[in-house]
Amino acid sequence: MKKILIVDDAAFMRLTIRNMLEKNSYEVVGEATNGRDAIQKFGLLRPDIVTMDITMPDMDGISALKAILAIDSKANVIMVSAMGQERLVREAILSGAKTFIVKPFKEEQMLKALEGIK
């Protein structure tokens, strides 16, 4: 069972992702509300996959992605972006994110992104 860390500043989005994952046999090991929190929890929990919102207060998802990859170069991070953030998504992929999904997304899109990670 893959262990997942959910990172999003919106409580509703974290809950939505958690519900999708848990009903599809993924284990949510933690949640973070910003990039700084995500880095700390990644180091502590060592999840298999991180779902990372791009736009968050305090520290954005791209900065957190780079810091997580500095801790573990093999970390699997899926970026979650809003419509119209193509430039940021491109930067995230070039920085080492495995893939991305765009909000609003359907459960199938989330599962497909997760299944694409070995």
pLDDT of residue 27: 98
Question: Measured between alpha carbons, how far is 50 from 31 in angstroms, rounded to an integer?
Answer: 10
| Total number of domains in the chain | 1
- pTM, entire model: 0.95
pLDDT of residue 84: 82
Which of 108, 106, 114 lies closest to 77, judged by CA? 114
Q: Structural domain of residue 111, as residue ranges?
A: 3-115
pLDDT of residue 83: 78
pLDDT of residue 49: 98
The answer, yes or no, to whether the previous bond of 47 is cis (omega within 30 of 0) is: no
The CATH number of whichever domain residue 44 belongs to comes to 3.40.50.2300
61-75 per-position pLDDT tens digit: 999 999 999 999 999
CB atoms within 10 A of CB 116: 11
- pLDDT under 70 in the chain at which residues? none
pLDDT of residue 69: 98
pLDDT of residue 56: 94
pLDDT of residue 86: 86
The number of C-alpha atoms within 13 Å of 91 and in the hemisphere containing its C-beta is: 14
Within 25-103, residue ranges assigned H as helices are 35-45, 61-71, 86-95
pLDDT of residue 117: 87
Name the phi and psi angles at 44, rounded to 5. -80, -45
